[in-house]
Amino acid sequence: MDKKIGVKILGTGSYLPEKILTNSDLEKIVDTSDEWISARTGIRERRISKSNEPTSELAYKASIKALEVANISPKQLDLIIIATITPDMFFPSTACFLQRKLGIVSIPAFDLSAACSGFVYGISVSKAFIESGLYKTILLVGADELSKITDWKDKNTCVLFGDGAGAIVFSNSQKDDDILSVFLGADGLYSDLLFLPAGGSVYPATESTVSENLHTIKMQGREVFKAAVPKMALAAEKALELSGKSINDIKIFIPHQANIRIIEAVAKKIGISMDRVFVNIHKTGNISSATTITALDEAIKAGKVCKGDIVELITFGGGFTWGAAIIRI
Ligand code: UT7
C-alpha cells in the first residue's frame, strides 16, 4: 500500500509596507493618546500601504521571498491560495492578480475568506489538498490592507489595524509531515459584532452607504475581546490534542496579534508563560489574515525558532471564526 502523503514546509516570507504610522501620528487624527493605545492594546505603530499598492502587491512581495527561501520557481507551483478580506477587487480574485504578477498561467488560484482566521483556515485547506494528492506544491498567502477599510474618524477602531502580507510554500512529501494538526471553528451568530456592512449584496454601494460610512470596519470591541479569549484557548487545546503533542513540545506559540491583553489572557488560560509566546503587535497592529504568517516569518528570521521546532498558531476573527494549527518548521 502507498505511504500516506505528508506536507513539507519549504519556506516562508513576509512583507510590510514601508510607511510607519505611530500612535503619536494618530493623536493628530482622532481624540486618542499613545498612552491609551499602548496600555489598552500593546500597539505602538503599524504599517500603511500606498494608494497604488494593492493587497496583491504586498502578497507578491511576500511570495517572492517565500519562493526564494523554498528555492523553487513560481512555475513549480500548482495552486495559489490567498486568505484576505481586503481583496484588490470583488473579482477577479486577488490570487489571480498574484498569479499574473508571478508570471505564471493555468494553475488554479482562489481567495479564501475567514477574516483574521484566514491563514489558519488556509493551512487546513492546503493540508487537505496535498494529502488527497490533488495538488503537490501550494503557495498560501495571508495578505490584508485593513487601512483601506478603516474609518479614520473612529478612534475605537482606527488605532488597531495595519497592512502586510506573509506567504508559505508547501509541497507533498513521503518523508515529512510538517502540519501536525489543525482545528477550526466558526459561529455566524456573532457576525454583527465585527463586520463591514456595505458593498456586498445586502447593502450594495449607494451614495447613502458611502455618506453613512458603511464601507468601513464596525466592531464592538469589548464583546469581541470577551469571545476571543475562550475560543483561542479552546482552539489551542484542541489542536494540541489532535496532534498528540504536549504543551511542552511546543517551542513557541504565535497567537493572532489583535490586543496584547487578549494574548496574555489566552497564555494564562492555556497555562504558558509569556516568554513562550511570540509578540510583534507593537510594530504591526492587527493585520488580519497576514498576522500569524508575518509573525511566524519574523520568528524564523530572528532565530526564535529553528528547523525541527514545533510551533502553534492560534487565531480568532470576524464571523466569528477561530482556529489553531500545529506545524513543524
Ligand atoms: O482580530 C480580531 C478582532 N479584534 C479584536 O480582537 C479586538 C478586541 N477588542 C479589543 O481589543 C478592545 O476591546 C479594544 C482595544 C477595541 C477596546 O478596549 P476596551 O478596554 O475594551 O475599551 P472600551 O471599548 O470598553 O472603551 C473604554 C473607553 C471608552 O470611553 P468611556 O466610555 O469609558 O468614557 C472609549 O470611548 O476607552 C475609550 N476609547 C478610547 N480612548 C482613547 C476607545 N478607543 C479609544 C482610543 N483612544 N483609541
Q: What is the CATH number for 225?
A: 3.40.47.10
Domain boundary among 177, 193, 214: 177
For residue 278, cis peptide bond before it (omega within 30 degrees of 0)? no
Say if ligand 1 is within 6 A of residue 38 CB. Answer: no
Amino acid at 298: E
Q: Based on C-alpha coordinates, what's the Rg of the chain? A: 19
Distance between Cα 42 and ligand 1 center (Å): 12
Q: What is the pLDDT of residue 4?
A: 87
pTM > 0.75: yes or no: yes
CA distance 80 to 143: 13
Is 184:117 a contact under the CB 8 Å cutoff? yes
Q: Which three cell numbers stand for residue 176?
A: 515529512
What 3-state class would DSSP assign to 280?
coil
Q: Are residues 224 and 137 in the same domain?
A: no
Q: Whose CA is nearest to atom 41 of ligand 1?
A: 32
Q: Phi and psi (nearest 5°) for 288?
A: 50, -125
Q: Is 58 within 8 Å of 15 (Cβ atoms)? A: yes
Residue 141 CA from chain centroid, whole number: 8
Q: Tell me the residue range of the domain where 188 lies.
A: 180-328
Ligand 1 pocket test, pick from 152, 222, 320 with the greatest ligand atom count within 8 Å of Cβ, gives 222
Distance CA 51, CA 8 (A): 36
Backbone angles phi, psi at 216, to 5 degrees: -125, 165
Domain total in the chain = 2
Cα distance between residue 134 and residue 137, in whole Å: 10
Length of the chain, please? 329
Write out the three cell numbers for 74. 513560481
Question: Of 177, 205, 239, which residue constitutes the final position of a domain?
Answer: 177
Q: Which of 172, 256, 259, 280 is catalytic?
A: 256
Secondary structure class of 48 (helix, strand, coil): strand
**pLDDT means per 10 residues in the chain (329 residues)?**
86 98 98 98 98 98 98 98 98 98 96 98 98 98 98 98 98 96 97 97 98 97 98 98 97 98 98 98 98 98 96 98 98
